[in-house]
Copies of this chain bind each other. A is one copy, B any other.
Amino acid sequence: MNNCEFCDLAPDDMKWLLYENEYWYLFLADRQDYAGRCLISCKRHCENISDLSIEEWLSLKNVMTNTEAMLKDEFGADVFNWSCLMNDAFKQSVPEPHVHFHLRPRYSKPVEIGNAVFKDKEFGHHYNNKAKPIDNKTAQMIFERLKANVHKYFK
């Protein structure tokens, strides 16, 4: 694949890796506009949900379920906004979409992370696609906390 950013993962991407299994990567999203926002990416270059194998689909359910449990326990998420969009691939002249899911945890209450407080200003409404991300230091703290505890949820 020439243009697929998910097949050609850079060290800067891999530093956000929380978990992987045979079929999927679970990353903390580098853009932490919602505290604990994650990205689940298929390990192989699969262009749409239709083409996922049954094994990949069942494994995805497992990754989603465990990630929801983790974010509920660690940060108190109330509900989870899942999306699989793949629009960016269609900015290329030869689109090479690659199945990945965005997970934005949503919070009815403020979330304390170190000295920072994340407030979900649009709770009960569609996520804000242009929300300002959390500062880098706090994003790093979120990563470290999840990385230290992810094994509890993926047994």
Contacts and interface: CB of A to CB of B under 8 A. Distances in A.
A52 B61 contact: yes
A84 interface: yes
A118 interface: no
A80 B50 CA distance: 10
Interface string A42-75: 0000001110101001100100110011000000
Contacts of A89: 79
Interface residues of A, number: 36
Contact of A68 (B49, B57, B97): B49
Contacts of A79: 48, 86-87, 89-90, 95, 97
A106 B90 CA distance: 10
B58 A54 contact: yes
Given A48-B79, A126-B129, 20 more contacts: A49-B65, A50-B64, A50-B68, A57-B58, A58-B58, A78-B90, A78-B95, A79-B86, A79-B89, A79-B90, A79-B95, A81-B85, A81-B87, A83-B84, A85-B126, A87-B123, A87-B126, A88-B124, A90-B124, A91-B124
